[in-house]
Structure 1
Amino acid sequence: MRINLKLYMFLVAMLFVFLPQVTSASAEPLDEVRQLIRDYYVDEVPESVLSKGSVKEITQYLDPHSVYMSAKEYQGFVDGIEQRIVGIGVVLEEDLKGIKVISVIPSGPADRAEIQSGDLITHVNGKSIVGKSIQTAISLISGEEKTMVTLTIKRIGQAAPFTKKLTREEIMLPNVEYEMLGGNIAYIRLNSFALESTKEMDKAIRSLSGADGWIVDLRDNGGGYITAAQDIAGFFPGVGNAFQLREKNSKPKTYPSTFQSSKFNGLTHVLINEYSASASEMVSATVKEQKAATLYGQTSYGKGTMQAMYGFDDGSVLKMTTARFYSPGGEPVDQVGVKPNVLTKVGKELEGSHRDQLLMKLKGYKKLPELVNVPITKKFTVEMNTKMNWKNIDKAAVQLIQLGEQETEAVIEVVNDKTITIVPKNPLMAGSRYILVIHPYYKNVQNKPMKQGIYVEVSVK
């Protein structure tokens, strides 16, 4: 059998791969698929499996990430990596009992229908998707804009499943989001390792230049192209290698990161959770091993495999696992995930990272007893032990920073020559945590500056 190979730099979990373009006149490229599995699948497959009568039957015996996709399913898969979707606005993951919703896009159809993270979708338009691949689920849930889709959902804590009828919309998902958090800490969220991720990450770093610290958010990031993973690793100072790859019947090979002129030039944290997978785990493992960043969150998903794409004349595609990846030093990822340096509660990854970044900047400041369960209308009174010169108050001397967010605006009111009151312009956020900082910029009536700054941590009930 003759198979013409064509080189593509496409990854579905990572790495440069050869994508054969197969010529087949048959309705289904069964013989070609059998040979591809013999030659490239990461593990040996018994001939008893390869003798099955259809591609779908064969791939059922492979790992969960090896699937045969129709042209429509494949397009939906690529659109997912590139953050281009017409659908209901959910991020999904395979589950033994259905397809799990791991996050909901704000203001999208699913959000408006009150679908929640953790919900299990078991049927789409009455058709069961239990045991189906994520690609199959996406192809059924997605569709033409303004068309309807009905989902059957199981929710923890509810005995009976329920249905939701939603209208599909075009969902605009930014791949890279960034902002400057309170205390001059840069925050960058990468949603997918897509074709434009490197360019967008470079733009974000340049836009946030001058930051005192960096937080890179890879939570819920399911991976993407391997070239993008190599590129992203290059933004971390001192990271020379991106990953180690082990293919079938080959010696382990270590691949370098891509040099980037822009760098995270300061204390850097990376956020991960149980849904950080594939390329996210590749980057997390390598920056942890090479001590280029500190990981915050929970142990990642554990998808340490790479898939190659094999396209056929009818537009169908075989996505097949061809290798396993490891950290450059050989630490496994598949089935075990990447453990964070700092374990946090679910949903508190950003808050914990931001807090630690701020406290690093406040070394030498005096810590006051924490204020717990304060009301959202809280006003803060600061009393000095000596008379102060409150004239020409420097607004920069006082900061009220919501953890994980930007600085909260506040007004400083003079009560007397020892006391000021700090009044937030808007109510505090219920359930949130803050740090109130008084920098040593003030002077007393003898024109002597404060000896040290002070700060207090605040939790709002």
Structure 2
Amino acid sequence: MLRNHIQRFIMLFVILLVMLPLTTSAATEPIDEIRQLIKDYYVDDVPASVLSRSTGKEITNGLDPHSAYMSKQEYEAFINGIEQRIVGIGVVLEESVNGIKVISVIKDGPAFKAGIVPGDVITHVGGNSLKGQSVQAAVPLISGKENTDVSLTIEREKTEKPVKMTIRRAEIHLPTVESEMLGGNIGYIRLNSFATDSARDMEDAIRSLKGAEGFIVDIRNNGGGYITAAQEIAGFFPGVEQAFQLREKNKKPAIYPSVNQKQKITGPVSLLINEYSASASEMLAVNLKEQKAATLYGESTYGKGTMQSMYAFNDGSVLKMTTARFYSPKGIAVDKVGVTPDIKTRENEELITAHYEQLLTQYKDYARYPKLENVKTTKRFTVNMTKEMDWRQLGNKSAQLIEIGGKESNVRFEVKDGKTIEVIPEAPLLSGKKYVLIIHPVWMDKKGKALKKGIYLDVTVK
């Protein structure tokens, strides 16, 4: 009824709350096969006291947190999480001391709407404590069918009392890749998962951002995915010929190549990371940092530098087991240490910092004027020149107002006199946001002489 070695998949860690899984009966478990596979392929030696346990789940609970024995439906839920096909509350999870920690929250999902934030620790589901439980054990309790409710108790930083809430499960749609053009022609690509179609979607995103003068690639809160997807994604970065180094049990370290892509990211590249960037995300981050193919912004990453392999059995159950540790191509470790950014930023300021610095790179020869702070949302910008100007030379792009971390704001001009002009945003500025106003050296005086150099100034809105 069982077979020792069936289809083998290699992937990295990600768990999303999905359809309600079933538990595999211990009486039908391929326990001998599980023990042998662990002896042969688990990355470290395992004590006999662990291998002698009576069920697959008990054995894998004695391994590292990323190894697990899953029922057929648990495995399907795991794969659906990587592929972003999910029904649940919409969170990415990891084990924690007091329960199950929320790594990231899917925008507009049930958890997002309920106010759950990264860093929250789910301590109880209904009356069941999650202290000391694995993610796999928590999934059956938190997940369920669409349009059913689940009651959670949450431990939150800076909150004295536990937070209790009831959330209705729903179907959630999340693309693996999202993209848009930011102000200053900076292409922004958010990679949510290293899934089967991530490389195809990444190629489409790069193509849609034609004309970009630089790129920001965002892998914050990305918990990982397939190792092959990491190889494919690495191939979009010029000069990155190697993807990672693997060290398996009783084998010499092996360096794996990236998958060369015809469509390439061009110009300066910023990579956004945070403490919830894990596994395949860290594989990409440490590689790009080592190859100097991108500048990393944010916080140190999670520190999961291990690879899991999948072993399937005839009953549909699957053994997910850590079989290797990965490193940068030159051997920089990731496991338990993470990847440090080149430029450390405050939490949630990774994007605005990277965007602003890319803009300054474009306009490094421009003169910087004193910043304007706490302006009103209805601010009009008055520009005074020292000479009589020929305002007929004004064009739509002679001045730009760009939201840092966002798009360009449309502006119009109003001439006051020969030396004075107003730059007027066509829509109110956004409260609490930062902008940069750029005057390009295309304006001419009455004698036909253009500005010697452009100017820019920072603007903050109260």
Specify the SS of the correspondent of 1:388.
Answer: coil
Match in the other structure for 2:56: 55
Note the 1:297-316 alignment, pairs <5 A: 297-316=298-317
Q: CA deviation at 1:369?
A: 1.1
Deviating beyond 4 angstroms after TM superposition, the runs of 4 or more aligned structure 1 residues are: none
TM-superposed deviation, 1:80: 0.9
Structure 2: segments with no counterpart, 5+ residues: 15-24
Distance in 2 between the 1:104 and 1:46 partners? Answer: 37
Q: How do 1:131-210 residues align onto structure 2 when only pairs under 5 Å count?
A: 131-210=132-211
- Over the matched positions of the two proteins, sequence identity in percent amounts to 58
In the other structure, the counterpart of 1:339 is 340
- Tell me the amino acid that sits aligned with residue 51 of structure 2: L
Tell me how far apart the structure 1 counterparts of residues 360 and 425 of structure 2 sit (CA, whole Å). Answer: 21
Normalised to the residue count of structure 2, the TM-score between the two structures is 0.94
Measure how far apart 1:129 and its partner are: 2.0
CA separation in 1, counterparts of 2:282 and 2:26? 40
Q: Which residue of 2 aligns with 1:377?
A: 378
Q: State the one-letter code of the partner of 1:79.
A: N
Distance 2:42 2:236 in 1: 32
**Structure 2 counterpart of 1:11, which letter?**
M
Counterpart of 2:239, as a letter, is: G
Q: Is the 8 A contact 2:4 2:33 kept in 1?
A: no
Aligned partners of 2:66 and 2:373: how far apart in 1?
Answer: 47
Offset of residue 287 of structure 1: 1.0
Is the contact made by 2:305 and 2:326 (CA closer than 8 Å) also made in structure 1?
yes
Partner of 1:82: 83
Alignment correspondent of 1:429: 430
Take 2:258 and 2:27, find their aligned partners in 1: how far apart are those partners?
42
TM-score (norm 1): 0.94
Structure 1 residue 7, shift from structure 2 partner: 4.5
Kept in 1, the 8 Å contact 2:9–2:310? The answer is: no
Measured after TM superposition, the shift of residue 13 of structure 1 is 4.3
**2:412 corresponding residue in structure 1:** 411
Once the two structures are superposed, residues 408-448 of structure 1 have per-residue CA deviations (whole angstroms, 9 ceiling, x without a partner) of 12222212111111222222222221111001111111121
Deviation at 1:194, TM superposition (A): 0.2
Q: CA, structure 1 residues 39+3, in 2 after alignment: closer, same or farther (shift >3 Å)?
A: farther
The AA in structure 2 aligned to 1:437 is I
Aligned residue in 2 for 1:269: 270
The aligned length equals 451
CA contact 1:296–1:344 (8 Å) conserved in 2: yes
Name the aligned partner's letter for residue 191 of structure 2: L
Q: Aligned partners of 1:224 and 1:28: how far apart in 2?
A: 27
Q: Distance in 2 between matches of 1:176 and 1:108?
A: 17
The 2-side partners of 1:163 and 1:379 are apart by: 46
The offset of 1:253, in angstroms, is: 0.5
Cα distance in structure 2, aligned partners of 1:101 and 1:442: 53
Is residue 194–residue 225 contact of structure 1 (8 Å, CA) maintained in 2? yes
Contact 2:80 2:86 in 1 (8 A): yes
Secondary structure of 1:360 counterpart = helix
CA RMSD of aligned residues (A): 1.8
Q: In structure 2, how many angstroms separate the alpha carbons of the residues matched to 1:297 and 1:257?
A: 25
Q: Distance in 2 between matches of 1:227 and 1:418?
A: 60
Q: Does the 8 Å CA contact 2:356/2:404 hold for their aligned counterparts?
A: yes
The equivalent of 2:73 in structure 1 is 72
What is the CA-CA distance between 1:226 and the residue it aligns to?
0.5
Give 3-state SS (helix, strand or coil) of 2:171's partner.
strand
CA pair 390-135 structure 1, distance change in 2 beyond 3 A: farther
Contact 1:180 1:208 in 2 (8 A): yes
**Residue 34 of structure 1: aligned partner:** 35
The aligned residue for residue 98 of structure 1 is 99
Structure 1 Cα separation of the partners of residues 117 and 253 of structure 2:
42
Whole-Å separation in 2 of the counterparts to 1:294 and 1:323: 27
Tell me the distance in 2 between the aligned counterparts of 1:305 and 1:66: 10
2:103 counterpart SS class: strand
Q: Deviations over 1:137-179 (max 9, x none)?
A: 3343222111111111122232222321121111111110000
Aligned to 2:237: 236
Give the CA deviation at 1:93: 2.8
Q: Deviations over 1:298-351 (max 9, x none)?
A: 111110000011122222211110000000000100011111111111111010
Using the alignment, how far apart are the partners of 2:169 and 2:397 within structure 1?
Answer: 47
Residue 5 of structure 2 corresponds to: 5
Q: CA deviation at 1:48?
A: 1.8
Check conservation: 1:193, 1:229, Cα contact below 8 A: yes
CA contact (8 A) 2:104 2:276 kept: no
User: In the TM superposition, what whole-angstrom CA distance separates every residue of 1:213-243 from its partner, at most 9, and x where no partner exists?
Assistant: 0111010001000100000000000011000
Distance 1:210 1:96 in 2: 48
Note the 1:218-233 alignment, pairs <5 A.
218-233=219-234
Q: Cα offset for 1:25?
A: 10
Cα separation, 2, equivalents of 1:317 and 1:9: 10
